Structure 1
Amino acid sequence: MKRMLGMTLSTVIMMASLSFFPTKGFASSNEVVPISLTSDAPGYPMDENSTRIKKILLNTNKYALTTWWDEKKNFDAQGEGYLDLGGKEESDIRHPAAMSLGLAASLSFHVYDPSYIGVSSSIATQRTSQLVSSLALHHRVNTSQGWGNRWQSAHWAYFAGFAGWLIWEDLSEENQEYVRRMVEYEANRFIEYDVPYWKSPEGEVLFPGDTKAEENAWNAQLLQLATAMMPEHQNWNLWMNKNIELMVSSAATPTDQNNTYVVNGKPVKDWINGSNINEDGTVVNHGFIHPDYMEFIAFNNTSGIHYTLAGMSTPEAAFYHSDLVYNAYIDLPFASPPFEGPGGTIYKNDSSDIYYPQGNDWGTDRRMQFATLDIFADVFGYDSSLSKGGSYWEPLHAQKVLDMQNRHSDGHTYATFMEDTYDGREEWVAHHAAWALMAKWIKDNPALRISNKSYGPTYKRLSGKDRYETSVEISKEGWTASETVIIASGENFPDALASVPLAGKYDAPVLLTRSNQLPGSIEKEIVRLGAKRIIIVGGTSAIAGEVEETIRNLGAMTSRIDGKDRFETSVKIAEQLPSSDKAFLVNAYDFPDALSVASIASQQGIPILLTKQDKVPFSTQSYIEHTPFITLIGGESVISGNVEKSIGEVDRIAGRDRYETAVKVMETLQPGAKTMMVSNGESFPDALSGSGLAATLKAPLVLTRYNEVPAVTKEVFEEDSIEHFYLLGGENILGEKIPMTLLDQ
């Protein structure tokens, strides 16, 4: 039996229960804020260029509601219920989704013309609603085994979701919820997403011939939509900061690795971890410089549409390097040879022709993306320094599209396969025309605001499948190479904690090992770092001789620092540091307080010495007798008053518990930090590895419980100074609620 558009929501939720994406952050109620255009908002402009764009969009509507609906898709035979889309591949989902956006834009901006198209407004609205609802229903979050959670599915969900938002009031409550859940699900996929790059920070090509500029930009579009539609969602900050990261990364050049210009709260260099475009603004895809893929900036620019419709300001990141890329179309010459003839610039004066310097594999007559870019450049103002701006180029490219459409009575654009070889070419024209029309409307809209404000702190989780691989991930985050590596026990903390200042001396990562076997991941990381000196910390009871032999076989000079016990080992480490008149004294049997001070000790070259709770061992006492300034870390339950009296005049930093002690250490010794490390206060290995990175980044460490943030730690994140934090360890160490709680301050 055919399912009807009003099928019960509970039925669909039951069907989808086996296919949910992990449920972190899923909202339990409909949080979409519909688009509300104020009474004084401008109508659609009537100038010649705007009228041309409207005509192009109407032609795509005409084709969509006649030939495409009745013949290509045969949807007319399915009646008025949910449509069978034919499958869950690109042609089944992306193409109808893109077409739905063209229809929704025409209807919602009141440019739809039933007399021209030959289909009434009510039927057009019903079919658009039917199409959007069917796309949303068939998503895996709403129907078991549906489409979604795959490469490019965020792109498809964006088209359908944006179309749904535009016609929100024409959808039933059930279908509104299907749309909301679809967008929310796809947005949540990116909360801890590792952003891909064409090239590494060192310039190594990671994906030969395949920039990630377009991929990152279309994923950003979904997050733009989610943050515009659901401004009060509990994951809003997570979505927005990932959106900004994706947009900046999509347009990152090799030299941006050192770019200190601040975009939405952080220097560019801190947003990125590689590059996706060339220094001249060109983009390599399909193995060559490809003008069609330079259009990725349009996907970022659509932020200006989404956020204006939502009554929000648009992040400046949406236009990062748009001027550079657009310049590469207009004012960047290509000599022939080595490039293909005739050479010159990609755009040609007084012509709609496009020059492809290294060839083209998508056909000879694609123009709608260029017309859309021209409009965006003019509307958002990134063409001001060019020899000719977007307003010059737009009529040349747009008229070409309209002339092609005028060849066909049903309004479709292409006559032959070679004009555009993409099989979703007509739908592709429709969604570009929708963007172009909405940008035209926005041009003189006072609601358009661009802001470079910060959207709160960002975060990154550093983790592997175990403590050893996590130490590798921490090392990779902080070091591209290192002459020295500190090897410490991943099973026993005292020697390892005392070694952190030594790591600071050599600007070296701390890698963890098992007591009797060097993990393969650690061995590979030593090789990657190109280490020439390995320092093993601890005796053979902590790190066996077999491990040392394995390390020696890697070819690096290897030494060991150890004493007859943990106290003497800490002293021997201290003796390897530059002379200091200060020392931190911590409990040798209770790691949390020592963790909190380790990165600061490393930064300042201050040794960490170990003591018993109620007595200072001889080796430690001998050392501190010559050290005038001693700071005890922890309260009297950790280091007793007797110890304090035996030493003499000392300072003490302590809180009511380990969490408050960590905060007090930070507030006393490193106030105003912009970067923070967050570690589990009941597990030492990940924090130990992270202390070396924390020292390099001048980032103090605070502690939390597994899946609950103590009030004193929350208060730290209420300060506006924090821009970024690292989570040290996977979700088995720091649960999924931790980042959300910290970002919600």
Structure 2
Amino acid sequence: MKKYLKYMILAALALCLYKAIDKVLDRMYLGQYTINDYTDDTRFTTVNKVLDKRFEKSDVAILINTEYIDQVVSTAPYAYSKKIPVFYTEKQKVLKPVYDEMEKLGVKKVILVGGVNSLSESVERSLERNGYKFERINESRGINFSIKIAEMMMSDNKISEIAVVTSDEFDLPNAISFSPYSQKNKIPILVTSNTQNDYLKIKKLIRNNNINKVYLIGNEGYLNSNFDRLANVKIQKIKGEDRYDFNKKLIKTIYGKSDNGNVYISKGGELLHKRHIGSGQLINAIAISPLAADNDSPLLFIENNYFETQESQIVEKNGYKILNQVGFKIERRNYFNIERMKNATTVVLILISIMMVVRVSRNSRDEENKKIL
């Protein structure tokens, strides 16, 4: 028994030493960067934290359904061009963090994005009760909404470039990757369902507004090949195997070595049941994208809380020294992470416990036998 106790004490001391060394390495790893954190308790308070960085006051705000990423990506360049803060809420109600921040900014009028299927009439009633005026961008989701937003941008600005992405939920995160660049350069993002009718509408928009360049962005094989044959415009295709590969290729294609050292880092959307992407991380990413646009800096998607090899190479090669994290805390990659090994550790501890019980039981039986003899 004493022998096993000695081993357990040694194991505990080794674990304490490991954790102490781990903390020292964490400090050394993060010490070479300036870390700016925009993470808060929920996606809604995280949005507020970002807005506090960009706005002291605004008479107008935009309100979008947090689940409608297609509307989110099309609205972002317009909101940036008009210097309007964007809030996200649920379909049936305006959440308290949204009201808190709107009151702080002195908002008087709210622009609701979409019809009642996007934000219901109960949202209107809530705004009225709280003393806000409101109006709607009342257009159906998809290409019609994208074109309406693009035309609103064109009424105020000379627009010569547009971007096209599909409405597939695995493709829309690519539009968020592209969003800082589109906001900075006033490039509308058109979301298509890949139909021939959508293609003809986009073609008409290009012709009527003298568009001379089209970015075809997204995952390989998602966008209708008809867009490759658009006449009288320059086509730039940026494609990737998935949202993470696209993000890396976008940074390589559009952003060179950083002048100011900033990179904005978010998760690329949590995979749900292997078939859907949750909106929470994507809202964090789009919320911080105006800050990235302000600094002409990229948004970097990472899948884990730490940098994989390729991601580390991007940060190092492009000279990023200021890491702006949103929605999570960047950590040093730890190959011996206790959380990762918790199942194996649990099994080992159970086996040790069983062995100790058996040993004690056997010793007890031996003592009893000795007494009998």
Q: Does 1:689 align with 2:287?
A: yes
Is contact 1:533–1:558 with CA below 8 Å preserved after alignment?
yes
Cα deviation per residue 1:256-292 (whole Å; 9 max; x = unaligned)?
xxxxxxxxxxxxxxxxxxxxxxxxxxxxxxxxxxxxx
Q: Does 1:665 align with 2:250?
A: yes
Q: CA deviation at 1:553?
A: 4.3
Is contact 2:108–2:133 with CA below 8 Å preserved after alignment?
yes
Is contact 1:562–1:572 with CA below 8 Å preserved after alignment?
no
Q: CA deviation at 1:501?
A: 0.6
Identity across matched positions, percent = 21
Letter paired with 1:624? I
Task: Tell me the SS of whatever aligns to 1:634.
Answer: strand
Matching residue within 156, 163, 169 for 1:584: 163
Q: Does 1:680 align with 2:267?
A: yes
- Measured in 1, the distance between the counterparts of 2:263 and 2:50 equals 14
Letter paired with 1:713? E
* 1:550–1:30 distance in 2 versus 1, CA, 3 Å: closer
- Measured in 2, the distance between the counterparts of 1:235 and 1:729 equals 21
* 1:552–1:695 distance in 2 versus 1, CA, 3 Å: farther
Give 1:631's aligned residue.
215
Q: Does 1:236 align with 2:226?
A: no
Q: CA deviation at 1:530?
A: 1.3
Matching residue within 27, 49, 57 for 1:473: 49
Is contact 1:613–1:637 with CA below 8 Å preserved after alignment?
no
* 1:669–1:555 distance in 2 versus 1, CA, 3 Å: farther
Task: Tell me the SS of whatever aligns to 1:718.
Answer: helix
* 1:629–1:29 distance in 2 versus 1, CA, 3 Å: closer
* 1:29–1:526 distance in 2 versus 1, CA, 3 Å: closer
Matching residue within 118, 122, 125 for 1:549: 125
Q: CA deviation at 1:474?
A: 1.9
Letter paired with 1:654? K
Q: CA deviation at 1:690?
A: 1.9
Is contact 1:509–1:692 with CA below 8 Å preserved after alignment?
no
- Measured in 2, the distance between the counterparts of 1:564 and 1:508 equals 22
The within-5 A match list for 1:588-737 is 588-589=167-168, 590-613=171-194, 615=196, 617=198, 618-625=200-207, 626=209, 627-646=211-230, 649=233, 650-673=235-258, 674-682=261-269, 683-707=281-305, 709-719=307-317, 721-730=319-328
Is contact 2:184–2:293 with CA below 8 Å preserved after alignment?
yes
Is contact 1:494–1:588 with CA below 8 Å preserved after alignment?
yes
Letter paired with 2:240? G
Is contact 2:166–2:193 with CA below 8 Å preserved after alignment?
yes
- Measured in 2, the distance between the counterparts of 1:692 and 1:605 equals 12
Q: CA deviation at 1:517?
A: 0.7
Is contact 2:219–2:243 with CA below 8 Å preserved after alignment?
no
The within-5 A match list for 1:36-51 is none
* 1:670–1:484 distance in 2 versus 1, CA, 3 Å: farther
* 1:12–1:490 distance in 2 versus 1, CA, 3 Å: farther
Q: CA deviation at 1:711?
A: 4.0
Letter paired with 1:668? T
Letter paired with 2:18? S
Is contact 2:173–2:268 with CA below 8 Å preserved after alignment?
yes
Give 1:419's aligned residue.
none
Is contact 1:600–1:670 with CA below 8 Å preserved after alignment?
no
Task: Tell me the SS of whatever aligns to 1:563.
Answer: coil
Cα deviation per residue 1:79-107 (whole Å; 9 max; x = unaligned)?
xxxxxxxxxxxxxxxxxxxxxxxxxxxxx
Give 2:18's aligned residue.
28
Letter paired with 1:681? G
* 1:710–1:637 distance in 2 versus 1, CA, 3 Å: farther
Matching residue within 135, 138, 145 for 1:559: 135
Give 1:496's aligned residue.
72
* 1:623–1:467 distance in 2 versus 1, CA, 3 Å: same
Letter paired with 2:180? S
Task: Tell me the SS of whatever aligns to 1:516.
Answer: coil
Give 2:332's aligned residue.
740
Is contact 2:203–2:230 with CA below 8 Å preserved after alignment?
no
- Measured in 2, the distance between the counterparts of 1:691 and 1:716 equals 18
Task: Tell me the SS of whatever aligns to 1:576.
Answer: helix
- Measured in 2, the distance between the counterparts of 1:709 and 1:619 equals 41
Q: CA deviation at 1:635?
A: 4.1
* 1:623–1:237 distance in 2 versus 1, CA, 3 Å: same
TM-score, normalised with respect to structure 2: 0.73
Q: Which has the higher contact order (CA 8 A, sep 6+)?
A: 2
Cα deviation per residue 1:516-535 (whole Å; 9 max; x = unaligned)?
11100111101111123422
Cα deviation per residue 1:664-700 (whole Å; 9 max; x = unaligned)?
3233333333211112222422112222332234332
Q: CA deviation at 1:461?
A: 3.0
Q: Does 1:539 align with 2:107?
A: no
Task: Tell me the SS of whatever aligns to 1:485.
Answer: strand
The within-5 A match list for 1:204-223 is none
Letter paired with 1:573? I
- Measured in 2, the distance between the counterparts of 1:518 and 1:591 equals 24
Letter paired with 1:645? R
Higher Rg of the two aligned structures: 1
Counting strand residues as a fraction of each chain, which structure ranks higher? 2
* 1:558–1:629 distance in 2 versus 1, CA, 3 Å: same
Is contact 1:467–1:490 with CA below 8 Å preserved after alignment?
no
- Measured in 2, the distance between the counterparts of 1:714 and 1:645 equals 37
Is contact 1:562–1:568 with CA below 8 Å preserved after alignment?
no
Is contact 1:662–1:702 with CA below 8 Å preserved after alignment?
yes
Give 2:93's aligned residue.
517
Cα deviation per residue 1:178-201 (whole Å; 9 max; x = unaligned)?
xxxxxx8xxx6xxxxxxxxxxxxx
* 1:688–1:633 distance in 2 versus 1, CA, 3 Å: same
- Measured in 1, the distance between the counterparts of 2:226 and 2:79 equals 32
Q: CA deviation at 1:490?
A: 0.8
Task: Tell me the SS of whatever aligns to 1:716.
Answer: helix
Give 1:370's aligned residue.
none
Is contact 1:501–1:605 with CA below 8 Å preserved after alignment?
yes
- Measured in 2, the distance between the counterparts of 1:614 and 1:647 equals 18
Taking only aligned residues, the RMSD between alpha carbons, in angstroms, comes to 3.1
Give 1:435's aligned residue.
none
Q: CA deviation at 1:458?
A: 1.8
Q: CA deviation at 1:662?
A: 1.6
Cα deviation per residue 1:612-637 (whole Å; 9 max; x = unaligned)?
34646144333223322111112442
Give 2:358's aligned residue.
none
Is contact 2:256–2:318 with CA below 8 Å preserved after alignment?
no
Unmatched runs of 5 consecutive residues or more in structure 2: 270-280, 335-373
Q: Does 1:526 align with 2:124?
A: no
- Measured in 1, the distance between the counterparts of 2:26 and 2:285 equals 28
- Measured in 1, the distance between the counterparts of 2:310 and 2:116 equals 40
Letter paired with 2:126? T
Q: CA deviation at 1:551?
A: 2.8
Aligned residues: 308
Q: CA deviation at 1:478?
A: 2.8
- Measured in 2, the distance between the counterparts of 1:664 and 1:720 equals 13
- Measured in 2, the distance between the counterparts of 1:461 and 1:508 equals 22
- Measured in 2, the distance between the counterparts of 1:594 and 1:603 equals 14
Cα deviation per residue 1:418-470 (whole Å; 9 max; x = unaligned)?
xxxxxxxxxxxxxxxxxxxxxxxxxxxxxxxxxxxxxx322233233332222
